[in-house]
Chain A
């Protein structure tokens, strides 16, 4: 194999496995790299520096940080857009393309946009496209096409992502020297420690930076520290793992491969390091211009020579270590452009200078100049600094294909600030501080500010910003924002750095201001005559880096609940619906036959006998000497005089007098009620009862037994006949066990509670049995009822049946404002009780006139479209109410429904106008409820 042209020999390339070469493609051209290479490093080894086109102007972009901290390296994989090329490892046959271009990455037809840049200042979108009305709709398609990043694979096959909870005494984020020392010290004190690093190896800056003139020290330290950490059985190490935020009480989302770890730490030590910053000058975004740390990463981690001829822009002594690294790697270092006028050198700098590197102090790179293909740096214009940010009129042109920027660092303040830390800046020394963190979250290493080891200059050059008449001095690479954009935003009146961000979009791109925050703060400070400390930086909320939605969505838990009879419904051909977490049979039959199925089930209940699973109803045991008193306070009705063996309707209102639930209260003993609730209301009602009970200290126990009981309602003229075959220990006679009676006995040998209810308007019994007997009960009843043509019926038929009988469903026929008076339930209110929840407000409401009432209506016009739930009731064109339920009634052979109507035309014989499907006005006749069997003869059989 031909060696890639920029590849350095071993031992360069700490991460490479040179025994395994990998072939992949970029922009349909085949390349070779080694295992351990990222896409960007393998391409750089092959002298392919152009990686992407910028978001707005489609300018060529290449390696900037080589650490996954910038948006320059975003590329497209077949199934994934916006992949960081300087993080993503190459694998055999990986097909990588650029994104955000028209035509090809090399010849982007959209690059013309840049020439119109001066016509697109910040705020351009807000100002340009909103007039005349409707024009945005036309522009938006064009803009979206031009501005989108990457392509989503619409044929993506979901893969398995999951989550895990982990617990540690101490979590150390960042596996550099500070992190390793912190982890070892914590482990020595007896703590269980997790050490997290986003890189494939521990070591941090020891892996690539130069800590002494000879370049020996880092390697020795690194080997020792890693060996110690790996030897400690109290330290767990997670590599390629990103701690993507800090949440309250040291709750850390750590992403590794396809898993999101939710880690709870007793203490967190953030050793997240510092981020090197760019200088701002004309064409500072050209490929070939990169952070000095990026060149060191290329050389040491990936064995890539970052260029042939280099210029280094220096604002601190690190630049000289970089110069040594470059020279050692065979790069011709033409010049160090030293921003400092009187630099104080350290040992490394002195030893670099001793190797005869040319240094121009007090100079700046005023502009970078691309080569003829416009895609790479070829020269720099070096000029003397006259005053802060201003250069001499003339400069010297120097040829180079690499410009390293070593002008300063910001601490990686994102996680510390999420933990409550405050970022401070000292305008005198150009250095940062992080303070105010909680005691359980500490900092170590360069996140506390990069400090020179000896008495030398600050690592941050205070003003590496040089405006140019032609602009293109990029502050924010993600959003193509230049110096003038930031200054204009301030001049447009957005003086606060948070407003500048929102107006200009500065810092809102994929790199989230990691490199734009500092120059923006400097520019805003200057434009507003404030200090940088006063100006500050914008908030950096989690996540730190872009994360896949799959990590949040993966292996989510959606609990589902099934009654013990569940499979009997499926076997009977039921279409299931979900009511909350519950599966319930909607109707029995093929999907296409819904209407006929429901009609058939309704008729069978009216004419023969039907069976419906009511296991989803809530059940609450209320027991103790104060059981009746407790219900008296909770529900609207009167319960103290309720005889044992009887059930009573139980209507629940909240403190505001709004109807929130209903059921029946069955008195099985002087001190024992069994209260049912709606399917969705069980937990809430139970919770409410417990809360009241805690406050009242009554002699009563409240127990939620909803799941413990499985139930059916057997209903229809033959219900008693069928039940008699299975139940011999309860007298089922109409007088012995009347309507609203309750009994305990056995059904087919299964212990059961029997409740004579009339929800569907026929003779019927709810039979509640312990959950695990549910399926057997179902089988026995179906078998016993076969001669009487028993058929199961589903939720849909039950809704029709109860509607015919005029029974409301809480939550469907009531809303967040419905009081008992409006839903015609004054009869369910016991006014003489000293207290019930909601009673005081209902008493107030009774003094005033209610404004609406729930009425029953029928639609006699056979041509009219059947109204649906939430269709409006109109008075002329004004909405005066709404339909809450409406179904075709097989029994009455016409649509019947419930609707809120204004009190004025709510009496029987009145009419209401409903705006039905397609806007058709349907006239409905108001009738007295119920629609079916007003004398209750059927249910009291």
Chain B
């Protein structure tokens, strides 16, 4: 069984975690074209190479991110989601813009 290094709990059997899909930045729902939105919802890049993924440690209810090489299955690094998501996201009614 593979070991995944949780930023909160340290190295653990990967069975302690749930996979949360690829990291996508959501396009602005009020401005983007339907096509772009549909691709965001339904398509994964499915890249052969290094991807960033969501992982969840079940016992501590902790989401974090991992960089993994999908060709070798090597996990390059794991880090808190707060390294990427630092600021409040707002959906403004007036402009329809997602403010970051």
Which residues on A are within 8 Å of B, measured CB to CB?
247-249, 251, 262, 264, 633, 655-656, 686-687, 690-691, 694-699, 704, 834-835, 839-841, 844
Contacts and interface: CB of A to CB of B under 8 A. Distances in A.
A704 B60 CA distance: 11
Given A249-B2, A633-B91, 9 more contacts: A248-B2, A264-B3, A686-B61, A687-B18, A690-B63, A695-B85, A698-B88, A704-B61, A834-B91
Interface string B78-100: 00011001111101110010000
Given A251-B1, A694-B85, A656 B42 contact: yes
Nearest to A697: B88
A694 B63 contact: yes
A888 to B, nearest CB: 40
B87 A697 contact: yes
A575 to B, nearest CB: 32
Contacts of A844: 34, 38
Interface in B62-82: 63, 73, 81-82
Contacts of A690: 56, 61, 63
10 contacts: A249-B1, A249-B3, A656-B41, A686-B61, A687-B18, A687-B56, A696-B85, A697-B89, A699-B88, A839-B29
Nearest to A687: B56
A694 B82 contact: yes
B91 to A, nearest CB: 4
B61 A248 contact: no
Nearest to A654: B41
B30 interface: yes
Contacts of B26: 695
A154 B48 CA distance: 49
A834 B63 contact: no
B68 to A, nearest CB: 13
Contacts of A264: 3, 13
The 8 closest A-B pairs by CB, nearest first: A835-B91, A834-B91, A248-B2, A697-B88, A694-B81, A251-B1, A249-B3, A696-B89
B12 to A, nearest CB: 11
A691 B1 contact: no
Given A248-B1, A686-B61, A697 B85 contact: yes
B49 interface: no
B93 A834 contact: yes
A844 B91 CA distance: 19
B86 A691 contact: no
A674 to B, nearest CB: 18
Contacts of B89: 695-697
A213 B68 CA distance: 56
A834 B1 contact: no
A687 B61 contact: yes
A834 B89 CA distance: 12
B41 A691 contact: no
B88 A696 contact: yes
A166 B10 CA distance: 18
B29 to A, nearest CB: 5
Contacts of B92: 834
A22 B40 CA distance: 72
Contacts of B96: 834
Nearest to A702: B61
B30 A834 contact: yes
Contacts of A262: 1
A87 to B, nearest CB: 28
B56 A691 contact: yes
Nearest to A251: B1
A628 to B, nearest CB: 14
Contacts of A698: 88
B8 to A, nearest CB: 13
Contacts of B73: 248
B37 A840 contact: yes
Given A691-B63, A834-B93, A834-B96, A247 B86 contact: no
Nearest to A694: B81
B85 to A, nearest CB: 5
B51 to A, nearest CB: 17
A690 B3 CA distance: 23
A695 B23 CA distance: 11
A686 B61 CA distance: 9
A691 B54 contact: yes
Contacts of B54: 691
B5 to A, nearest CB: 11
Nearest to B28: A835
A698 B3 CA distance: 32
A687 B1 CA distance: 24
Contacts of B56: 687, 690-691
A477 B65 CA distance: 51
B53 to A, nearest CB: 12
Nearest to A420: B72
Interface in B33-53: 34, 37-38, 41-42
Contacts of B61: 686-687, 690, 704
B52 to A, nearest CB: 13
A690 B2 CA distance: 25
B18 to A, nearest CB: 7
A701 to B, nearest CB: 12
Nearest to B81: A694
Contacts of B86: 697
Contacts of B41: 655-656, 840-841
A694 B85 CA distance: 7
Contacts of A840: 29, 37, 41
A690 B57 CA distance: 12
Nearest to A691: B63
Contacts of B82: 694
A697 B86 CA distance: 7
Nearest to B65: A694
Contacts of B38: 841, 844
A262 B13 CA distance: 11
Contacts of B34: 844
Nearest to B82: A694
Nearest to A626: B88
A704 B93 CA distance: 30
A212 to B, nearest CB: 44
B60 to A, nearest CB: 11
B39 to A, nearest CB: 12
Nearest to A835: B91
A306 B88 CA distance: 81
Interface string B1-26: 11100000000010000101000001
A838 to B, nearest CB: 9
Nearest to B18: A687
A699 B29 CA distance: 22
Contacts of A834: 29-30, 91-93, 96
Nearest to A695: B85
A247 B82 CA distance: 33
A331 to B, nearest CB: 49
Nearest to B34: A844
A709 B53 CA distance: 34
Nearest to B2: A248
A630 to B, nearest CB: 11
A686 B18 CA distance: 13
